[in-house]
Structure 1
Amino acid sequence: MSAAFPGLGTVINVGTILVGAVLGMLVGHRLSVHTREVVTDCLGLVTLLTAGLNAIMVTDSGFAGAVGSGAPLLIVLGSLLIGGITGSILRIEDRLEVLAGAIQKRVGGKLPEEQSDADAGSARERFIEGWMTASLLFCVGPLTILGSLNDGLGRGIDQLVLKAVLDGFAAMAFASTFGVGVLLSAASVAIVQGGLTLTGFLLGSVLPDPHIAALTATGGLMLVAIGLRLLNIKQIPVGDMLPALIVAPLLTQLVVALR
């Protein structure tokens, strides 16, 4: 499917997320607490499935051919370790929570005076979880990278249209549980995919397939962490691991250069 202008795929994707999130927020209050918990568990399981499909890229033949048969797993491990240590030193998770809390006050308005501190804390936590979870889920994966780059290169928006449909339904499900925080994830998608589309438009295909495989596999493991958080198994500080998405292609390039 050809695009009328570069970035159309991202515009469509952002639109489906906004529509899906609004619909989810409209029906969310009609669902019981138990039903919302079931929805969250379902999202956690689907997130784990998505994570597995992304993480399996560590076995990609092109990836192994470029860096050596034993290197892909070490590259993913190194990316997570370097990225996680860097993120923890920079306190990315804490800073994101502070930023999300400030945005929540502006977007959601002031909390009612009769609302307890526990309820306020729970609402803030739900807002942050919705924003971070939806943003990571929508911004990590081969469709995000390849689709945005192909859009910028003028190769069509088929991949982003498919992603837009999937994200719209996912946003509806997330927003029914997490509320307005999911709506804000549309901005994250606009920034990430818009930046990748601009990169594709200006520089062409900047990431070879092995580098994309490394980034996708690393992102897949981060999605595992998100799934574990949604299922209340372990609250892994995913925000601190975000630098790993930059480290993965750089580390891949280093290994390729040293071979």
Structure 2
Amino acid sequence: MILFGTIVNALLIVIGTILGRFLHNIPERMKETIMYGIGLAVAVIGIQMTFESTQILIVIISIVVGAVLGEWMDLDDKVTKLGQWLEIKLPRKEEGMNISEGFVTATLIFVVGSMAIIGAIDSGLRNDHNVLVMKGIIDGFTSIILSSSLGIGVAFAAIPVFLYQGIITVLSTQISQYIPQALLDFFISEMTATGGLMILAIGLNLIGLTKIRVANLVPGILVVGVIVTVIHFL
């Protein structure tokens, strides 16, 4: 089932929110250690994916060019400003945040990022749900923390997560109908490796070793498509 990863991700957000409403006093040290553990696991997944490449030079060029494009468009800053704009437009209660704010805050955290895109493409093209399941674990734990302060609105973020990742997954399955199998296999291997580096960056950010603007690396996926297409037809 191609939507398995997306469904698991959405369910873990809901489960995490419910748990968060009952677990108000999670020790900070426990939160920190668990997040480090998740970060290490994400980093390992990213490293494993990087070894899928058959031509590492394509991965390097795609990451570099993608980073240039991402920084030029300043995607990370645009995402931040979108969140700020939404928070300004939404009504705020004097004491704490309301359901709308919990929903928007959680949605921005769960939807934005390369892991959602790469994982959804992986589910659609390879029927491989590992990335989305790992993302679901991260989102689930994050939901526990968010819902303890923002309330039940966090659970509703599961809806846009399901729609966003589900649409990308379904669209990815249609690619094989219009692209030669050899080109598709070539793209999958290099896209997986390039996405793996981005996921490694997410893991390092979770651990606290780096502050990489991963959103600015996402255009690298498009660069991979261009490069492998040119190489294939040449």
Same fold (TM over 0.5): yes
Distance 1:46 1:182 in 2: 25
Give yes or no for the alignment of 1:136 onto 2:136.
no
Cα 1:85/1:113, change in 2 over 3 Å: same
Match in the other structure for 1:255: 231
Give yes or no for the alignment of 1:29 onto 2:11.
no
Match in the other structure for 1:214: 190
Using the size of structure 2 for normalisation, the TM-score is 0.74
Give yes or no for the alignment of 1:193 onto 2:172.
no
Distance 2:117 2:22 in 1: 25
8 Å Cα contact 1:149-1:197 kept in structure 2: no
Match in the other structure for 1:172: 140
Cα 1:213/1:15, change in 2 over 3 Å: same
Match in the other structure for 1:68: none
Distance 1:244 1:102 in 2: 27
SS in 2 for 1:235: coil
Task: Say how many residue pairs are matched.
Answer: 220
RMSD: 3.6
Distance 1:183 1:219 in 2: 28
Structure 2: gaps (5+ residues)? none
Tell me by how many angstroms 1:110 deviates.
Answer: 2.6
8 Å Cα contact 1:55-1:221 kept in structure 2: yes
The AA in structure 2 aligned to 1:251 is: I
Distance 1:202 1:215 in 2: 14
SS in 2 for 1:248: helix
The AA in structure 1 aligned to 2:164 is: I
Structure 1: gaps (5+ residues)? 2-6, 59-63, 65-71, 116-122, 151-157
Which residue among 55, 73, 78 is the counterpart of 1:95?
A: 78
Give yes or no for the alignment of 1:51 onto 2:46.
yes
SS in 2 for 1:81: helix
Match in the other structure for 2:92: 110
Distance 2:23 2:88 in 1: 20
8 Å Cα contact 2:121-2:172 kept in structure 1: no
Percent pairwise identity? 20
Distance 1:191 1:253 in 2: 26
Tell me by how many angstroms 1:149 deviates.
Answer: 4.3
Match in the other structure for 2:65: 82
Tell me by how many angstroms 1:103 deviates.
Answer: 4.0
Using the size of structure 1 for normalisation, the TM-score is 0.68
Distance 1:114 1:171 in 2: 22
Which residue among 11, 31, 38 is the counterpart of 1:16?
A: 11
8 Å Cα contact 1:229-1:236 kept in structure 2: yes
Tell me by how many angstroms 1:247 deviates.
Answer: 1.2
Cα 1:233/1:178, change in 2 over 3 Å: farther
SS in 2 for 1:57: coil
Distance 1:245 1:19 in 2: 30
